[in-house]
Structure 1
């Protein structure tokens, strides 16, 4: 992703984004090869800049109030392949290579594993790896 970072020039491209009042933008991670939606997280200016510079997804953790490098605990990093901005300039799409095949902290490939059936949310995706094995017991 270094080539992308080299072509960006000054960070004025960040000014084109419509940030929330909290200075955040929703970011959707999509598998660059399959097109599967893996997860949604939040980014601030710094995390988006670092994502482009480092070529790996860096998000803003609202609950921890700090930068969160995807895979820092699990090893399941997201390598940036492409980045897009939606037509309203208020959502970022990261096309990524998901290392280890697991994007969700529940041990599933995608955070979008529940489907609505007969008025109830049911799991439609298997757990690929026990979260305790990934993160240790909580």
Structure 2
């Protein structure tokens, strides 16, 4: 079964998913928060997902960041709509910076690095890859 990760933002949610064998993380989509539940219900009708991973925003000193309350609300919404789905939180510090760096290293131009939807999508992939690496050890 697949694992799905979310990089939550108040304007966009980056979504990444593993392959069924949980070997590769791939960017799936970037969705407006208002549409996320409908999107997930439709996706889960055709794909088996065993758990959700949600990026947990933290400050450098490990305290919750300003956006933590929004993420908490998102997790509550997920639990309400998908009560049987396990949800794990994972520290998401630096994922946006890493995503921008990955875009730059890929040879894409400055415009791509400024594409917030692309950055959010790649951030979700990085978050999911981090979770997958932790599972191996």
Normalization by structure 2: what TM-score? 0.29
Q: Which of structures 1 and 2 has the bigger CA Rg? A: 1
More strand by share: 1
Normalization by structure 1: what TM-score? 0.29
More helix by share: 2
Return the structure number with greater relative CO, CA threshold 8 A, min gap 6: 2
